[in-house]
Amino acid sequence: MLLPRMRNTSPTAAGPRSLVRRAAIAAAALLVAGPMAASAQAEPAAPGLPAELIAAITRDLRISPEQYLQRSDLAQQVAAFSATAQRQYPDLFAGAWLDESGQAIVALAGGPGIDAARKAVQDAGYTVKDVAKSETALRGEKNAFAKWLEGQPASVASQVRGVAVDTVNNAIAVRVDQGGLQLPGFAESARVIVMAAPPVAGEDTEVQRAADIASTGTGPIAAGDAYASIAGRMSLRCSTGFNGTDGSGAVVNITAGHCNPNIAATGGGNSPGVYELVNDRAGNQMGTFEKSILGNQDYSIVSIDNAFRDRFSNNLVRVPNAAPIAVTGVAVPVVGAPVCKSGSRTGFSCGTVNAVDQTVQVGDRLLTQSFSANICALPGDSGGPIVTGTLALGISSASSVADYPICEIPNLIGLLTGNTPQLFAQPVSVVLSDNPGLRVRTN
């Protein structure tokens, strides 16, 4: 299925439909030239990366596979350093990220202890950026904004689509329906991002039933493969997420909450089923939704039936029917980190994380603790995996361009207007934290 549609996230790019015809023509040219350009830059010697992922890295990130792996690893080193720095210097630490060249930047606000904090950053090999506000202060502004918004009339509150700490610009970022919203005094320095229309859910997909004996074979089912979820006459098409085990050791798959067509029935005798797809038809049932959360978070845990346990007992991520990447661990989102998603509709596409721990409106709910990246995803990619390097990072949840037929059109519009596609994601680390004993398979 089924990424919810989200609209333009840049005030300079509202209403890009006048560009669609030109974009479609140019996109057709890109479809011819793109793979050739990617092949010329690809370095197949990169360890553990399939050709489809290498092509996406060179095409979308314009870096080598080795740089992708190095920057992904550096981002997790920065995340570990940041966790310690936040505890040791709560009034000074102002966030950390990778810049466009892949260098690690750590921001520090002035105050007592600044010399010791600066030395710690430099000794770690990172660059210091002096800023006005600590991360603690920025989070305080974010929370204050949320409380301010609760007290506003509907005519004001309905215009706000979300808020995040903008680490790179040392401010909070507010997504609004249209320009001109009067912000409170403490948020006057906030970066305003115009979102022309609120996200809305995509349309359900009618999945026909194949014969009960239909099967795709006996090979592994990896993250990024397609599946159908069915509850009575309701059916959706999504992508499998990361394979794992629950607290009892049972085999599970971690995918999106909104891929469950009947959350109210989850866990009971009529819990919606997950079916393999055979030529776009639902074949044998592979599992059942054990738990689905759709509100502030967006994830499902699918219990895998005994007949399919061996096929899900792997740590693989892939483009359907292609060579896989092996997941080696779990990561946390870091601004500037390179990331790649796989989905059963659009395969691998890559970008960089541009916001973490943010709140964004998706339809009539607020997705909190989410991260976003400048990646195109379309209906059918929902629930699929997002990796950084070879680490499990997130689950595809909502897209700003889900109403386009192919990614080449919004990608080209992004080049022309600066309004790049945005993929909003559920961090895997949060899912694991909320479900003790749940693990992503790494071997």
Catalytic residues: 258, 298, 382
Q: Of 391, 400, 390, 403, nearest to 425 (Cα)?
A: 400
Q: Please, where are the H alpha helices in 91-159? A: 114-123, 135-150, 154-157
Coil/strand/helix, residue 388: strand
What sign has the CA pseudo-torsion 350, 352, 357, 359?
negative
- Exposure string of 200-237, with b = 16+ CB inside 10 Å and e = fewer, is ebbeebebeebeeebebeeebbbbbbbbbbbbeeebbb
For residue 434, what are its two tokens? 């909320």
Q: Of 366, 319, 376, nearest to 59 (Cα)?
A: 376
Q: How far apart are CA 185 and CA 328, in angstroms?
A: 46
Q: How far apart are CA 315 and CA 328, in angstroms?
A: 8
Report yes or no: 139 and 165 within 8 Å, Cβ to Cβ: yes
Strands 324-326 and 316-318: antiparallel
Q: How far apart are CA 374 and CA 420, in angstroms?
A: 6
- Backbone angles phi and psi of 87, in degrees to 5: -75, -40
- Backbone angles phi and psi of 271, in degrees to 5: -60, 135
C-alpha distance from residue 252 to each of 118, 190, 302 (Å): 45, 42, 5
